[in-house]
A and B are shown apart, each in its own frame.
Chain A
Amino acid sequence: MFVDHGLLRAGEAEQVERDYVAATGVRLKVVEAADRFVRALAGVIDPEDKRKLIGREFIRVFETAAREVVEEAGETGATVEFLVQGTLYPDVVESGGGTGAANIKSHHNVGGLPDDLQFALVEPLRDLFKDEVRRVGEQLGLPPEIVWRQPFPGPGLGIRIVGEVTAERLAVLRRADAIVRAELSSAGLDRDIWQCPVVLLATVRSVGVQGDGRTYGHPVVLRPVSSEDAMTADWTRLPYDVLERISTRITNEVREINRVVLDLTSKPPGTIEWE
């Protein structure tokens, strides 16, 4: 089941709907829920509120769709007893095995289904670290864009827009993010950086000049980081020529953005995501 909450990056929904299905032969049920999420996010500014709201909407949509799957199976006399989750070993250690770390941000997981819709969990990655999961994915012949996708938060682009999330802002951010990913890939930097969030500062405007006219657009922040485990991270020293190409392309191709800035903060003190 794939809930398209409209907060994914350019091309990602197609990777799941087309490439992944082709590689694995799973029966995919797609739920288009982008409008619903944008409506729910109207007027929400606080990052923790956004995270909670996206999590809550997600579980409602998932619940409805799961009921449909169960009912469809029931029509042919079959039952659906299991729910597969991609829980990794670090989650297992942190939620019980280890000595406990402070909850810095509330995490976004599938949980909280109602009592009358319960499944036994199947968690085939419980013993594995991320790099092992990637090697298994390669061995299983999954699309490389999915296997090597950089870590991306469950609330998606919703927490990469500082300020209110709207359909227009999502479209702007998606175009800028696609340029950043394309340029990093063509520079061969995908495996050197852990991830590179692109953040739209939708509540900030700055004056610019483009052509003969004054502009008053938004900045985007590039947040390239290097890390082994996301617990600590350092900002990545991207080559100047790559930064230049990214900056020029974004300001030329995305009208609403007139300034590109670089985040030079390590973690700690800054988290990888801005929200």
Chain B
Amino acid sequence: MKPDVVLVVDYGAQYAQLIARRIREAHVYSEIVPHTASVADMLARKPKAIVLSGGPASVYVEEAPQADPALFEADVPVLGICYGFQAMVQALGGEVAATGGSEFGRTTLRVLEPGVLLRGLPAEQQVWMSHGDEVTRAPAGFVVTGSSTGAPVASFENVARRLAGVQFHPEVLHTQHGRQILQRFLFDIAGVRPQWTEANIIDEQVSRIRAQVGGKRVICGLSGGVDSAVAAALVQ
């Protein structure tokens, strides 16, 4: 059985792998795809949800990677993070302003309206920010759920369309309730099932190796480290 898969679209952020790891820690299989992948390519992998990562660009810079509006019409749940959040706002008709200000590091998020993403979490919480531009108006149909001093729209959601976004980085440990926020999106907004466990990993890899190698002989170099040791043990 193939587990549910969540795609992380990499906008060139150092955080894309961290997002994928956090999703897997919630026992959901996730893969990273470059932002250059087309919407058709992404949908061909039948993702149960898509997360747009942060990235170093400003949405105003020429040739800045954009989010294809078609992505939000495909009836696949999407969470935008940082740059991905801003790209989402642009694609859906909200407003991103280059105010010249910026927020880096620990910031206080004020909850305006808990909605689904922030339900049951403190009215004020520490989040990790790293952005220049800011979202000044959410797209139509979205509820603004949180704000900070440098980000009047710091989080929003449209539960009916299963779309949500956050300006801060829920994947880093400095964001107090980041894990819960990611899991709210995965389980409560997107309805993904947690099916990725060690036993599943081993079963799936062993059956793949059987299909590839069968009873033939293999050679493997051991370095003394964990990677080659586990690879060889799986094959053995």
Contacts and interface: CB of A to CB of B under 8 A. Distances in A.
Contact of B219 (A69, A135, A146, A232): A69
Contact of A131 (B14, B21, B229, B236): B21
A72 B128 CA distance: 58
Interface stretch (B110-118, B176-184, B198-206): B198-206
Given A82-B219, A139-B199, A231 B236 contact: no
A85 interface: yes
Nearest to B199: A139
B221 A136 contact: no
A13 to B, nearest CB: 7
Contacts of B223: 154
Given A132-B201, A133-B226, A154-B223, A84 B232 contact: yes
A84 B217 contact: no
A8 B219 CA distance: 21
Interface in A1-57: 1-3, 8, 12-13, 15-16, 20, 23-26, 28
A136 B230 contact: yes
A128 B201 contact: yes
B224 A13 contact: yes
Nearest to B235: A84
A136 B228 CA distance: 12
A79 B10 contact: no
B93 interface: no
Given A13-B224, A82-B217, A228-B18, A26 B201 contact: no
A84 B233 CA distance: 10
A82 B217 CA distance: 7
A211 interface: no
A12 B234 contact: no
B94 interface: no
Interface stretch (B40-48, B74-82, B207-215): B207-215
A140 B221 contact: no
Contacts of A20: 222, 229
Contacts of A28: 222
The size class of the interface chain B forms with chain A is 35 or more
Contacts of A229: 17-18, 21
B224 A15 contact: yes
A80 B232 contact: no
A142 B14 CA distance: 32
Given A122-B218, A136-B202, A147 B231 contact: no
B57 to A, nearest CB: 11
Given A82-B219, A132-B201, A147 B226 contact: yes
B160 to A, nearest CB: 33
A98 interface: yes
8 contacts: A23-B233, A26-B233, A78-B217, A98-B16, A124-B205, A136-B201, A136-B234, A142-B226
The 10 closest A-B pairs by CB, nearest first: A86-B227, A84-B220, A86-B231, A82-B218, A86-B228, A137-B230, A99-B12, A124-B234, A12-B224, A80-B217
